[in-house]
Amino acid sequence: MQTEIKIKNKNYHIDIAEMAEGLLKVKVNNRNYFFAKNKSGELVSVDPKLYANGVELEENGFVYDGLAEKEIKSPIAGIISSIDVKKGSKVKSGQRVATLIAMKMENEIIVETAGVVKEVKIKEKQFVNSNEILIILE
């Protein structure tokens, strides 16, 4: 299904296709987004690499997840012991981006969406509060 929408004087070409059972690809201009129903029946953005064979993947192996969380936040207060990415780094879902020492444990912070690092807002040895933004993805 194809359609055109206009938001704030900008036109968007939308193409929606079912890639596999329960998996939708929504192409907005030239960028693909994938959605599937979660256990609660809500339509959520997903990484199609998790799905069965036969699902078309992006050529470069990365899927840009349009609705995913763009801000990677600290889950708890602690000290940043290492940072694994820099501005411009491509990250895959599940990839470690930083390690936080907190509550006497080592906590590897991973991204749950693929993307490109737009900004790293932390430095090594820096103290961060819970819910503080660590990294922003494009």
Partner 1 sequence: MEKFKTISSTNQKAKELAQEGAEPWTIIVAEEQKAGYGKEKVSWFSPNGGLYFSIILPKSQIEDLQTLTILAAFIVAKTIKDTFSLEPLIKLPNDVLIKQKKVAGILTENIIGKEIKNSIIGIGLNSNIDEFPRELEKSATSLKIELGREVDNEKILEMIIKGLKEQLKTISQ
Binder of partner 1 out of 107, 116, 133, 136 (CB under 8 A): 107
Using the rule CB under 8 A, give the single segment among 14-22, 31-39, 55-63, 75-83 that binds partner 1: 75-83
Residue type, 20: A
Find out whether 70 and 114 touch, Cβ atoms under 8 Å.
no
Find out whether 48 and 18 touch, Cβ atoms under 8 Å.
no
Binder of partner 1 out of 15, 112, 119, 138 (CB under 8 A): 112
Residue 16 or 136: the one with the smaller Cβ distance to partner 1 is 136
Measure CA 118 to chain center.
12
Using the rule CB under 8 A, give the single segment among 10-18, 46-54, 93-101, 115-123 that binds partner 1: 93-101
Find out whether 117 and 135 touch, Cβ atoms under 8 Å.
yes
- Decide if residue 124 touches partner 1 (CB under 8 A): no
Distance CA 119, CA 97 (A): 12
Residues found near partner 1 in the complex (CB under 8 A):
69, 75-76, 81, 94, 96, 101, 103-112
